[in-house]
Amino acid sequence: MAKVIFGITLMLLLTTLSSSITNAQSTNTCTNHPFQSNNQQQPNYKSCVDLPSLNSFLHYTYSPATETLNIAYRHPVGGSTGPATSKWVVWAINPTSKSMVGSQALVAYRSPIDGTLTAYTSPITSYGTMLEKGDLSFNVSELKAEFSNGEIVIFATIKVSINGSTQVNQVWQEGPLSSDGTPRMHSLSGDNVRSMASLDLLSGVIAPANGGSGGFGTSWKNTHGVINTMSWGILMPLGVIIARYVKFFPSADPAWFYLHVGCQLTAYIFGVAGWATGLKLTSGPQHIHHPTHRCIGTTIFSMATLQVLALFVRPKKDHKYRVYWNVYHHSVGYATIILGVYNIFEGFRILKPDNVWRVGYGGVLLGLVVSFVVLEATTWYLSFKRKRIANVAEENKSSINHV
């Protein structure tokens, strides 16, 4: 019954999500959008595409004979015609690869001080760029920006040389401004890491640069998330359930111990791999920086390592220090699981995967919690029943002895 309810809930959730996306796409479209410049209607662009993230749009006219590309890039920043919005926007072409580094960017923002618009060019040479002004590797003319109806629009004419191909690698992005109008680092999760795609200038076909649909894929971040969810979020709690409840039955001794150790060691091995991918993300060219998530992850890995090492100093059952070892082992183990589950949801918040992944892990976690509650109640009942039987037997034995 629970599986049926979960399936229906998941189906309704996905249906609602799909409907919301469809409605959003039907209301936010580039088709027949009028451009106003100095109260004069600009000529319509021959092509337009709804970009697959950040609710952005590209209008363009491409001339193969002259290799000239006229573009109008629309990006919502909010604020309508009211106060200035502290956000910069970028549209760029990367002539060499499908990545951020190497992109030749057109930058625009509305000053948070007086609302004036600024538009300029910026070559992206590193992941830590502050969008400094500079010349691009191709010619750009008629560069300007406008603000209307909560959108910043970048206009430009670009001389593109694509060596007989009709495809360009485009990058579009948004990020915050400091109080003095200096661009700051954009978010490193969600749509901000999905805003790259190739564009066929003749057909208008867009292909995401990562070859995916925006959900969990094969990138380092996604691999990191899947491995750690399996380790700290599923296998580790399962190992605790085995240790706490299977050993309640005398016939399961010592099988429960080997099951528990096997499950926890498997979880730890996965955890080591997850920690390694996390180090690669923070130290590699991506230089992804989420201090809270990283610190909690390092703490979890350290505590789990202590748990594994504790197996080699585990006192025997009748040892006088065994009770202290049990207190340490149980407290560190439960703390590791609690921090692990919290950090998984912190990772969901950072990565922003499709809802089916959140719901899926939520269902697994709910199943573990329900199992824990049911088994806890069952063992308490059986324990009470055993004590009552033992007391009755003791009373009968005492009565026989008196007789």
Binding site for heme b, residues? 224, 260, 293, 329
**CA 88 vs CA 103, 127, 155, 192: distances in Å:** 16, 16, 15, 13
Scanning the structure block, which residue is given the tokens 């950072």?
A: 350
Single-letter residue type at 387: K
What DSSP designation does 188 have?
Answer: S
Whole-angstrom Cα distance, residue 141 to residue 156? 6
Residue 196: name the closest of 178, 177, 172 by CA. 172
To 10 degrees, the CA torsion angle through 70, 74, 79, 82?
30
DSSP character string of 55-117: T-EEEEEEETTTTEEEEEEEEE-S-TTSSPP-EEEEEEEESS-SSSTT-EEEEEEE-TTT--E
Q: How many helices (H) and strands (E) does the chain have?
A: 7, 13
Q: Is residue 389 exposed (0-12), middle (13-18) or buried (19+ Cβ within 10 Å)?
A: exposed
And the tokens for 215? 């959900």
CB 58 within 8 A of CB 71: yes
> What residues are paired with 199 via a beta bridge?
168, 206
C-alpha–C-alpha distance, residues 213 and 230, integer Å:
22
Would you list which residues are annotated within the binding site?
224, 260, 293, 329
The residue with tokens 């528990």 is 260
Secondary structure of residue 42 in the 3-state scheme:
coil
